[in-house]
């Protein structure tokens, strides 16, 4: 069985890419280890509450703009296949999203119950083996997610319980001292679930807790999981401890003793004892199925594949990636690790493949070559685009000007533009939505900290909150930058504040062109 495109994994990214290939009549197939689409979500999160928001009532009519508040839907042509139609819950139950993905996958060329065991190369591309069968593909796309638990190198870590397998019944922890290793959402989700039964709960990790409402990275601790912090600060026998676990030992009488090195106290090293320990230390990409001739390079403690700006392996040509495993491009900065981010990455990958293999230009429209037309197009998009909103600082809209021609290209990874993905252009405007450079260090609720005023066009470049940024490149070299003033309700369309200053900026950049 040979295909132009073979996708491994029928999770949200695999289904998203398959739907786009299917729409365009491409020769593709999908292999999925589970018995249905979205199998990962049949098990995770372990306590079954998603932290991806599902805002059904937005007061917005434009379907593109509504996707800003819908973090779970895929980008499909069928208007009925929106996750907001499946549940009204703001933080949905994971079972609902499994049902949704299975509906999205209906009619696609997906083969289930195939456990891929080996991937190698031949003269024509890739050879994929699993379940006693073999597939061949010119282009291979890994959409497997981060399927393996990441365990830090701590002596004795093999003896503890793991987030992916531990008994989630809170009553089994009654009157016990519990250590949760890991300060991410899975760690605090677990600790919060045990509060009513465990005697003592400590959540430990080498770095300080980072709150998503301050860093704007949704993978940091979310408010829905941070009730445990209240039990710590109000002295309810629980604690968050900063430091490193140097050793874990099993006690002869049962339970564990750990050697803990504090990060910021006079007493640097201490031995602590617990009845149970749970490792909630994140996940990693599984590269074990690759033969040596096509094993992709890995980065970030070997947790993720190393990618080019076209979502291609840096070491294996023709091997592409989609989904949460593409987050190495914006690790802990933007949203490629989550559905509401990587759905646009998957669409961008589809456009990359369409351009490289089928001669299809990046989606866009021709514009009149005038500052007013360019500015109007930018203003219209920043006020409605969900891709720029969700993939802040990562995805941009691009206006390319060569000679007397201007073309507006939508949703291009900014790194792909820098790498020449759209080809050369004499003049190029790249528009993104971005937070200010200090946004993750400023407490947004501290009114004593001076801030740039709303709709302050003069000082827009110093704004901390999300706002449009337009960068002008001359023959690929950054020549000027313009910030549009931030706005409380994210409406960047005031004539004197947003529109007119942008027209002046574009006109000055194109002067003499």
| Percentage of the residues of the chain whose pLDDT score is greater than 70 | 99
The mean pLDDT of 343-353, rounded to a whole number, is 98
- Does residue 512 have a pLDDT over 70? no
Can you read off the two tokens belonging to residue 421? Answer: 């993905």
* Nearest one of 419, 421, 416, 508 to 470, comparing CA atoms: 508
- Is residue 273 a contact partner of residue 255, using CB atoms and an 8 Å limit? yes
Residues 6+ apart with CB under 8 A from 114: 31, 32, 33, 130, 131, 133
- Which phi and psi angles does 209 have, rounded to 5°? -65, 130
The mean pLDDT of 304-327, rounded to a whole number, is 97
Give pLDDT, residue 392.
Answer: 96
- What residue has token string 């062109």? 513
Which is it for strands 133-142 and 125-130: parallel, antiparallel or unpaired?
A: antiparallel
- Does residue 265 have a pLDDT over 80? no
- Does residue 130 have a pLDDT over 90? yes
Give pLDDT, residue 513.
Answer: 63
DSSP-assigned beta bridge partners for residue 313 = 307
Lowest mean pLDDT among 91-100, 275-284, 437-446: 437-446
Report d(CA 141, CA 310) in Å as an integer.
12
3-state secondary structure at position 383: coil
Give pLDDT, residue 438.
Answer: 81
Q: Is the dihedral of CA 343, 348, 351, 353 positive or negative?
A: negative
- Does residue 402 have a pLDDT over 70? yes
Residue 299: pLDDT band (50, 70, 90) is very high
The mean pLDDT of 356-373, rounded to a whole number, is 95
- Residues 33-54: tens digit of each pLDDT: 999 999 999 998 888 889 999 9
- Is residue 465 a contact partner of residue 440, using CB atoms and an 8 Å limit? no
Which is it for strands 200-205 and 177-181: parallel, antiparallel or unpaired?
A: parallel
Give pLDDT, residue 317.
Answer: 96
- Residues 329-341: tens digit of each pLDDT: 999 999 999 999 9
In whole numbers, what is the pLDDT of the chain averaged over residues?
94
- Residues 472-510: tens digit of each pLDDT: 999 999 999 999 999 999 999 999 999 999 999 999 999
- Is residue 408 a contact partner of residue 368, using CB atoms and an 8 Å limit? no
* Ordered DSSP codes for 397-423: EEEEEETTEEEEEEEEEHHHHHTTTT-
Can you read off the two tokens belonging to residue 297? Answer: 């390079």
Length of the chain: 513
* Nearest one of 179, 175, 173, 163 to 194, comparing CA atoms: 173
- Residues 355-364: tens digit of each pLDDT: 999 999 998 9
Give pLDDT, residue 92.
Answer: 95
12-23 vs 339-358: helix axis angle to the nearest 10? Answer: 40
Could you give the domains of the chain? 2-147+283-358 (3.50.50.60), 157-279 (3.50.50.60), 364-510 (no CATH)
Report d(CA 448, CA 154) in Å as an integer.
43
- What residue has token string 């497997």? 144
* Nearest one of 105, 278, 302 to 180, comparing CA atoms: 278
- Residues 166-198: tens digit of each pLDDT: 999 999 999 999 999 999 999 999 999 999 999
Which is it for strands 395-402 and 177-181: parallel, antiparallel or unpaired?
A: unpaired
Give pLDDT, residue 303.
Answer: 94
- Does residue 266 have a pLDDT over 80? no
* Nearest one of 1, 9, 13 to 33, comparing CA atoms: 9
- Does residue 445 have a pLDDT over 90? no
Give pLDDT, residue 342.
Answer: 97
Report d(CA 262, CA 265) in Å as an integer.
6
Give pLDDT, residue 228.
Answer: 94
Taking the alpha carbons at both ends of the chain, their separation in whole angstroms is 53
Residue 239: pLDDT band (50, 70, 90) is very high
- Residues 146-155: tens digit of each pLDDT: 988 899 999 9
Report d(CA 314, CA 305) in Å as an integer.
9
């Amino acid at each position: 069985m040979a295909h132009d495109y073979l996708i491994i994994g029928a999770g949200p990214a695999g289904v998203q890419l398959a739907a786009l290939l299917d729409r365009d009549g491409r020769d593709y197939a999908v292999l999925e280890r589970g018995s249905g689409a979205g199998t990962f979500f049949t098990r995770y999160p372990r306590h079954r509450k998603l932290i991806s928001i599902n805002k059904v009532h937005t007061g917005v009519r434009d379907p593109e703009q509504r996707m800003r508040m819908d973090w779970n839907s895929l980008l499909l042509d069928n208007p009925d296949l929106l996750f907001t139609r499946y549940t009204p819950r703001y933080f949905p139950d994971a079972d609902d999203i499994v049902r949704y993905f299975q509906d999205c996958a209906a009619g696609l060329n997906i083969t289930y119950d195939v456990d891929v065991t080996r991937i190698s190369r031949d003269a024509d591309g890739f050879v994929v083996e699993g379940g006693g069968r073999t597939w061949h593909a010119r282009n291979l796309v890994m959409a497997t997610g981060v399927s393996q638990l990441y365990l830090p190198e701590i002596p004795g870590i093999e003896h503890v319980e793991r987030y992916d397998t531990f008994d989630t019944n809170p009553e089994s922890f009654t009157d016990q001292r519990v250590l949760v290793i890991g300060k991410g959402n899975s760690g605090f989700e677990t600790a919060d679930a045990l509060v009513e039964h465990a005697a003592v709960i400590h959540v430990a990790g080498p770095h300080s807790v980072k709150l998503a409402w301050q860093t704007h990275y949704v993978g940091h601790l979310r408010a829905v999981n941070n009730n445990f912090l209240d039990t710590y600060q109000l002295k309810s026998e629980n604690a968050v401890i900063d430091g490193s676990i140097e050793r874990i030992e099993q006690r002869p009488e049962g339970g564990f003793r750990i050697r803990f090195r504090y990060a910021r106290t006079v007493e640097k090293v201490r031995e602590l004892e617990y009845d149970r320990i749970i490792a909630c230390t994140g996940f990693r990409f599984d590269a074990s199925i690759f033969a040596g001739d096509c094993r992709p390079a890995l980065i970030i403690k070997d947790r993720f594949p190393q990618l080019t700006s076209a979502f291609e392996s840096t070491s294996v040509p023709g091997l592409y990636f989609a989904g949460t495993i593409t987050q190495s491009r914006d690790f802990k900065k933007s949203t490629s690790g989550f559905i509401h981010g990587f759905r646009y990455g998957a669409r961008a990958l589809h456009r990359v493949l369409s351009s490289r293999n089928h001669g299809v230009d990046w989606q866009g429209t021709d514009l009149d070559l005038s500052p007013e037309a360019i500015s109007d197009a930018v203003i219209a998009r920043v006020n409605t685009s969900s891709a720029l909103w969700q993939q802040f600082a990562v995805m941009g809209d691009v206006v390319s000007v060569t000679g007397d021609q201007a073309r507006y290209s939508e949703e291009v990874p900014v790194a792909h533009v820098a790498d020449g993905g759209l080809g050369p252009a004499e003049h190029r405007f790249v528009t993104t939505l971005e937070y200010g450079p200090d946004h993750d260090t400023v407490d947004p609720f501290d009114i004593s900290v001076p801030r740039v005023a709303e709709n302050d066009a003069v000082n827009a470049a110093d704004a901390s909150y999300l706002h449009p940024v337009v960068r002008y490149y001359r023959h690929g070299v950054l020549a000027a930058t313009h910030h549009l003033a931030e706005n409380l309700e994210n409406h960047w369309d005031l004539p004197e504040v947003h529109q007119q200053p942008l027209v002046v900026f574009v006109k000055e950049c194109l002067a003499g062109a």
